[in-house]
């Protein structure tokens, strides 16, 4: 039956690759998809799998933005290299609030708020906020058009918004994009900085889950490792497409469509779990 579980991992990888970058909540979708197809893994490994599968999505970011994120490129002069290092510094500083709160509250969050009611509520509330923010921004101008123009204060402000994504259903990318837009950052720059901030925060989250899995004495079977690798590879390939799509999308469109989608999905989650 390994082939069936691999196919399930492919489906989950596709969902992860799409929802990790679009502001529609990967957690909300993961809860739904796992409920529907229910991949056959041990409970401890499933918990780790649903987080570590994000590694594939993370790898897509430095590959797509290699020139912008690589300070050692031969075609860069000293000033350009300093700018890249500075960009990494802002991404790390922006990730700090969520990292600190995530480490401090990890057990409490897993125990008390990872349920469909919280997820559905967050989906709906954030959907309304996206629509509201876009209507307000239609009357204002962006003050920051590029990630290079972001200051460390801006990064911290956006990072505080990112920490809201610890609540399942809010969406990490959604929180950071909303944070950027609230600070007067253009949609394109907000989305791009969201991608960069994902690298340290998602690496940290994946590493924490692996460490906890091993520290508790759990051992993965060969089949489970294969399933995890398949999920990671698929999420990576899908992320390459989705990130490119989003960067083109924000040049011509706003985020209201994602707000409406979140509201519909939120009510769908509530209805599904109330009926099962």
Does residue 75 have a pLDDT over 80? yes
Does residue 227 have a pLDDT over 90? yes
Does residue 208 have a pLDDT over 90? no
* Length of the chain counted residue by residue: 276
Does residue 109 have a pLDDT over 80? no
pLDDT value, residue 93:
95
CA angle 47, 92, 254 (to 5 degrees): 80
Kindly list the distances between the CA atom of residue 58 and the CA atoms of 51, 61, 194, 203, in Å, as whole numbers in the listed order: 12, 6, 12, 8
pLDDT value, residue 134:
86
pLDDT value, residue 220:
86
Does residue 269 have a pLDDT over 90? no
Does residue 14 have a pLDDT over 80? yes
The pLDDT mean for the chain works out to: 90
Domain that holds residue 136: 2-275
Write out the two tokens for 79: 């000033």
What distance in Å separates the CA atoms of residue 16 and residue 19, rounded to the nearest whole number?
Answer: 5
User: What is the pLDDT averaged over residues 100-119?
Assistant: 82
Each residue of 42-65: pLDDT tens digit? 888 988 898 899 999 999 999 999
Q: Is residue 69 very low, low, confident or very high in pLDDT (cuts 50, 70, 90)?
A: very high
Q: How many independent structural domains does the chain possess?
A: 1
Q: How far apart are the first and last CA of the chain?
A: 26
Does residue 193 have a pLDDT over 90? yes
Burial 193-208 (b: 16+ CB within 10 A, else e): bbbbbbbbbbeebbeb
Q: What is the residue whose two structure tokens read 């069936």?
A: 4
φ, ψ (nearest 5 deg) of residue 118: -65, -45
């Amino acid at each position: 039956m390994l082939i069936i579980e691999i196919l399930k991992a492919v489906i989950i990888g596709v969902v992860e690759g799409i929802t990790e970058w679009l502001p529609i909540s990967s957690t909300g979708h993961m809860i739904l998809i796992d409920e529907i197809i229910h991949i056959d893994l041990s409970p401890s490994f499933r918990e780790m799998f649903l987080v570590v599968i994000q590694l594939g999505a993370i790898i897509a970011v430095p590959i797509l933005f290699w020139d912008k994120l690589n300070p050692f490129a031969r075609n860069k002069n000293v000033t350009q290299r300093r700018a890249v290092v500075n960009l990494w510094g802002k991404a790390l500083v922006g990730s700090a609030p969520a990292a600190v709160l995530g480490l401090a509250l990890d057990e409490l969050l897993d125990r008390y708020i990872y349920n469909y009611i919280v997820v559905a509520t967050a989906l709906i509330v954030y959907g309304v906020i996206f629509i509201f923010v876009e209507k307000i921004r239609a009357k204002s101008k962006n003050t920051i058009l590029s990630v290079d123009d972001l200051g460390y204060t801006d990064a911290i402000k956006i990072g505080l918004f990112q920490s809201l994504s610890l609540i399942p259903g809010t969406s990490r990318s959604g929180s950071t994009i909303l944070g950027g837009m609230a600070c007067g950052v253009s949609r394109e720059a907000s989305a791009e900085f969201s991608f960069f901030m994902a690298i340290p925060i998602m690496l940290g989250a994946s590493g924490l889950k692996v460490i906890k899995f091993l520290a508790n004495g759990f051992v993965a079977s060969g089949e489970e490792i294969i399933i995890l690798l398949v999920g990671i590879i698929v999420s990576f390939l899908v992320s390459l497409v989705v990130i490119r799509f989003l960067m083109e999308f924000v040049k011509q469109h706003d985020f209201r469509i994602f707000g409406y989608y979140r509201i519909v999905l939120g009510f769908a989650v509530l209805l599904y779990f109330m009926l099962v």
